[in-house]
Structure 1
Amino acid sequence: MENNENTKQRFVAALTALMAAKPLDKITVKEIVEKSGKTRQTFYRCFQDKYDLVNWHFERLAEKSFLQMGVRLTLREGLEEKFRFIKNEQVFFAAAFQSEDYNSLVAYDYECIMRFYTNIIEKKTKRPLDADTRFLLDMYCRGSISMTAQWARRNMDLPPEKMADLLIQALPEPLEELLSDLQPQ
Structure 2
Amino acid sequence: MIQKTKESLATSLKKIMAKKPLTKITINDLVVDCGVNRQTFYYHFQDIYDLLGWIYKTEAVGSISDYKTYETWQQGFLKIFQYVKTNKSFCMNTFNSMGRDHLEYFLHHEIFNLLINVVDEVSNSSSLSSKEKEFISNFYTFAFIGILTSWMKDGMTDSPENIIEKVERLVNGDIEKMINKTTQLHLPN
TM-score by length of 1: 0.76
For 2:171, give the aligned amino acid. L
Q: Please give the root-mean-square deviation of Cα atoms over the aligned residues, in Å.
A: 2.9
- Kept after mapping to 2: 8 A contact 1:140/1:171: no
Question: In the aligned structure 2, how far is the partner of 1:45 from the partner of 1:114?
Answer: 31
Q: How does 1:52-131 map to 2 (within 5 A)?
A: 52-59=50-57, 60-65=59-64, 67-70=65-68, 74-101=72-99, 103-126=101-124, 128-131=129-132
How far off is 1:109 after superposition? 1.6
Identity of aligned residues (%): 25
Task: Indicate if the aligned counterparts of 1:99 and 1:105 stay in contact, CA closer than 8 A.
Answer: no
2:143 is matched by which residue type in structure 1? Answer: G
Q: Which amino acid aligns with 1:148?
A: L
Give structure 1 stretches of 5+ with no counterpart: 179-185
Corresponding residue of 2:168: 168
How many residues align? The count is 174
CA distance, structure 2, for counterparts of residue 123 and residue 77 of structure 1: 17
- Paired residues of 1:80 and 1:161 also in contact (CA < 8 A): yes
Which protein, 1 or 2, shows the higher relative CO under an 8 Å CA cutoff with sep ≥ 6? 1
Larger Rg: 2
Q: Could you give the per-residue CA deviations for residues 39-89 of structure 1, whole angstroms, max 9, x where no partner exists? A: 222222222222222222212212112x21147x82222222222222222
Q: Which deviations, in whole Å up to 9, do the C-alpha atoms of 1:88-111 show, x marking residues without a partner? A: 222211212223458521122212
